[in-house]
Amino acid sequence: MSFYTSLSGLQASQTEMSTISHNLANVSTNGFKKSRTEFADVMASSVSISPTQMIGSGTVVKAIRQQFGQGGAQQSTNALDMMISGEGFFAVKPDLNSAKVAFTRNGGFSVDADRYVTDANGGHLQVYPVDGSGTVVATGLDSTINLRLPATSGTPQATETVNLSVNLSAQASIPKDNAIFTSANPYAFDRFNPATYNNSSQTTIYDSVGNAVTMTNYYVRDTASSGAGSSSTWNVYSFAADQQLTVGGSTAPTTLTFDSSGALTSPTTPIAFDAFTPSGTTTAQQTTLDFGTATTQLGQPFAKLNETQDGRAVGQLEGVSVGDDGIVRASFSNGDTQALGKVVLANFSNPSGLRQLGNSYWSSTGVSGEAKLGEAGANGFGNLMSGAIERSNVDITEELVGLIAAQRNFQANAKALDTSSQISQTIFNIRS
């Protein structure tokens, strides 16, 4: 019997060394949880044997128990890298359209070619659906959705009204009076010739599909005030990209009239341009330009005082962030922010009973119990940290000490086995 007793010790020590080796091999695996080998003694007894004379029959591996202690944090510049500080697991679906859910502590996520948030194994991060304010609208594992980043946000709107206020310098000269213009070279406005206008301003407007179009206004002083009670005028030529905007089919400029104090006296209503079709679309649009009452002609240099327009472009995705509450928000070039979902956290009554699937994945079993879902910071769930990844919880020093101890145990059992073999051989020699 001593032969089999020693053999059980050898097998147990070998199992422990294999467990420790597995831990050491995964010291750099993000989200990995080490395991510990637990043993139990084996007793063979019957009612006829005195309790004081019972001899054990060796050992048996009772369990290889996973240790879900916290791993160290590794900082990251990726906002989608997440770490759970405390209890809980991320929920992922290995396949896009699969109902199967796996659980992981490895929060290294990125965006794939289809804009889904996935881990290194292609597992799709699960989130609760939310409304525009970030409030969860459905809970439960069957209600979770794959987190996907939208490419755009908003509905395009063509610019209908531009509000523009400027100050035109009262000291500006009249271009047509410049000496460079003669009878042989008469004055004529040319937007490509800065000598033919005093100033210009640019305003970004949008067409019906959200493309940006630059509206440029060229300001040309036409007459100067001759004193109190007199007025001065400026001509304004308006272009949308390369198209000159017309009023009533005429390319004549808009005339701005100022009194001797520099206040705008006309026009008193917005300028309604004829419909035009920007080059990026086939849909015509009509835009009005309102200089308002804040436009002035004062002694200061030319300046754009105020500018607004009611057009809207489609926002392009510019960034994504994850809050401490688990809400994932995307930001867009048009200023929109959109809540995309709330990261789902799962926990179990007995995490040590989870089945290891590899790739830092686990699945629930009857030993672990069913997954209990929750949110970051809730009772029984850890806090969520963005821009960090949980490292393995393996302590190399501790594992190496354990490996030496397991090796000594193996050697001791091997010696006992060798001794048992020698005794058996001696007995065989006596009989012969």
217-230 pLDDT per residue, tens: 999 999 998 877 78
Q: Do the domain assignments include residue 169?
A: yes
Is the pLDDT assigned to residue 160 strictly greater than 90?
yes
**pLDDT tier at 1, thresholds 50, 70, 90:** low
Average predicted confidence (pLDDT) for the chain: 91
Mean pLDDT is lowest, of 119-133, 216-230, 237-251, for 216-230
Beta strand 288-290 pairing with 161-167: parallel
Task: Say yes or no: 143 and 199 in one domain.
Answer: no
For residues 391 and 84, what is the distance between their CA atoms, to the nearest angstrom?
A: 11
Mean pLDDT of the 91-117 span = 92
**In which residue are the tokens 């210009």 written?**
200
Mean pLDDT of the 48-67 span = 81
Task: Say yes or no: 239 and 297 in one domain.
Answer: yes
User: In the listed set 309, 330, 353, which residue is the last one of a domain according to the structure?
Assistant: 309
Task: Say yes or no: 34 and 108 in one domain.
Answer: no
For residues 338 and 376, what is the distance between their CA atoms, to the nearest angstrom?
A: 20
Q: What is the pLDDT of residue 132?
A: 87
Q: Could you tell me what percent of the chain has a pLDDT over 90?
A: 72
Q: Within 10 Å of residue 327's Cβ, how many Cβ atoms?
A: 23
Task: Say yes or no: 107 and 62 in one domain.
Answer: no
Q: pLDDT tens digit string along 357-371?
A: 999 999 999 999 999
For residues 255 and 195, what is the distance between their CA atoms, to the nearest angstrom?
A: 19
Give whole-number Cα distances, 69 to 1, 109, 351, 373, 381, in Å.
40, 22, 11, 20, 14
Mean pLDDT is lowest, of 50-54, 200-204, 224-228, for 50-54
Q: Do the domain assignments include residue 275?
A: yes
Q: What is the pLDDT of residue 251?
A: 93
Mean pLDDT of the 8-33 span = 92
Beta strand 264-266 pairing with 109-111: unpaired
Task: Say yes or no: 79 and 180 in one domain.
Answer: no
Q: Do the domain assignments include residue 327?
A: no
Task: Say yes or no: 79 and 54 in one domain.
Answer: no
Question: The dihedral of CA 315, 316, 318, 322: what is its sign?
Answer: positive
Task: Say yes or no: 59 and 32 in one domain.
Answer: yes
Q: Within 10 Å of residue 181's Cβ, how many Cβ atoms?
A: 15
Q: Could you tell me what percent of the chain has a pLDDT over 70?
A: 97
Q: Which alpha helices (H) appear in 110-149, and where do they start and end?
A: none
User: In the listed set 251, 286, 309, which residue is the last one of a domain according to the structure?
Assistant: 309
For residues 374 and 326, what is the distance between their CA atoms, to the nearest angstrom?
A: 11
Q: What's the chain's length in residues? A: 432
Give whole-number Cα distances, 20 to 6, 23, 67, 406, 411, in Å.
21, 5, 13, 9, 17
Instruction: Dig out the tokens for 263 from the structure.
Output: 């206040």
Q: Do the domain assignments include residue 191?
A: yes
Instruction: Dig out the tokens for 317 from the structure.
Output: 């995705």
Task: Say yes or no: 99 and 207 in one domain.
Answer: no
* Short-list 123, 152, 107, 37, CA closest to 385: 107
Mean pLDDT of the 59-85 span = 93
* Short-list 294, 268, 306, 361, CA closest to 32: 361
Mean pLDDT of the 107-131 span = 95
Task: Say yes or no: 171 and 139 in one domain.
Answer: no
Mean pLDDT is lowest, of 277-281, 384-388, 391-395, for 277-281
Number of domains in the chain: 3
Q: Do the domain assignments include residue 211?
A: yes
Instruction: Dig out the tokens for 180 from the structure.
Output: 């460079």
**pLDDT tier at 176, thresholds 50, 70, 90:** very high
Mean pLDDT of the 337-343 span = 95
Which residues span the domain enclosing 29? Answer: 2-69+393-431
For residues 122 and 109, what is the distance between their CA atoms, to the nearest angstrom?
A: 9
**pLDDT tier at 47, thresholds 50, 70, 90:** low
Task: Say yes or no: 250 and 379 in one domain.
Answer: no
Task: Say yes or no: 59 and 165 in one domain.
Answer: no
Q: What is the pLDDT of residue 431?
A: 59
Half-sphere exposure of 376 (CA within 13 A, CB side): 22
**With left for phi above 0 and alpha for psi between -120 and 50, is residue 393 left, alpha or beta?**
alpha
Q: Do the domain assignments include residue 236?
A: yes
Mean pLDDT of the 319-341 span = 93
Q: Do the domain assignments include residue 324?
A: no
**pLDDT tier at 42, thresholds 50, 70, 90:** confident
- Which domain CATH number covers 187? 2.60.98.20
Give whole-number Cα distances, 398 to 12, 274, 401, 404, in Å.
19, 81, 5, 10
Q: Do the domain assignments include residue 381?
A: yes
Task: Say yes or no: 200 and 286 in one domain.
Answer: yes
User: In the listed set 285, 309, 333, which residue is the last one of a domain according to the structure?
Assistant: 309
Mean pLDDT of the 348-357 span = 94
Cβ 206 vs Cβ 315: under 8 Å: no
> Bridge-partner residues for 247, per DSSP?
250
Q: pLDDT tens digit string along 253-306?
A: 999 999 999 999 999 999 999 999 998 889 999 999 999 999 999 999 999 999
